[in-house]
A and B are shown apart, each in its own frame.
Chain A
Amino acid sequence: MGILAAAIAVGLGALGAGIGNGLIVGRTVEGIARQPELKGTLQTTMFIGIGLVEALPIIGVVIGFIALAR
């Protein structure tokens, strides 16, 4: 049961992070390709976006691992 719990927590967390990061990074690359002079602003936005998106999947991975180890 612990393995199943860990797999679901990590898998769904990684799925969410993948979709979120993909959207953020895709839009940033599009923006930088169109206007390279806005690189600084766009990379700041990308950094904050990725930071916020990855908070919850990291908790999911950690909790999944604890469920697996105990």
Chain B
Amino acid sequence: MSQYDQMITRERKWMLYLLAIFVLGAAFTPYVRIFLGLLLGGAVSFYNLFLLQKKTQEFAKAAASKDKPRGIGMISRFAAAIIAVMIALRFEEYFHIVAVIIGLMTSYPVIIIEFFLSRKKDRHESGVK
């Protein structure tokens, strides 16, 4: 398993943990609307993360084998975010809109924290301080 595959697996794992926490929050706390919003945003954020990982891998593969690359899916990710907001605005009694936006941003802290943790681990393994 390459370094990239390990990284994307860990990121998916952390996103699933976060989604599980949101589900528990929606089920067992009185803040149902907020946690449902976070869950909706988090699910779309997970889809965006998955798409970004897949497209990056396909793009690098195409660049290495001198094929024609097929884009990195920026419009699809924007459209997914817009769909989440459309759902939240349509069913405003179930989803808190600010929570949806915060949920949409869940994957970015995951990417950043995972990057710093893996860099620290790599440095520790290679003996660099």
Interface size on A, residues (CB 8 A): 32
**Count of chain B residues with Cβ under 8 Å from any Cβ of A?**
36
B111 touches A44 (CB 8 A): no
| Chain A binding surface, main DSSP class | helix
Residues of B contacting A39 in the complex (Cβ-Cβ under 8 angstroms): 60-61, 63-64
B3 touches A40 (CB 8 A): yes
Known: A41-B3, A65-B82. A25 touches B59 (CB 8 A): yes
B85 touches A66 (CB 8 A): yes
Q: Of A44, A46, A58, which contacts B104 at CB under 8 A?
A: A58
Contacts of B4 in A (CB 8 A): 40, 43-44, 47
> Are B105 and A59 touching (Cβ within 8 A)?
yes
**Interface residue? B72 (CB, 8 A):** yes
Query: When the two chains form the complex, which single residue of A32, A41, A44, A61 contacts B64, counting CB atoms closer than 8 Å?
Result: A32
Residues on B facing A (Cβ under 8 Å): 2-4, 7-8, 48-49, 52-53, 56-57, 59-61, 63-64, 66, 69, 72, 74, 77-78, 81-82, 85-86, 89, 97, 101, 104-105, 107-108, 111-112, 115
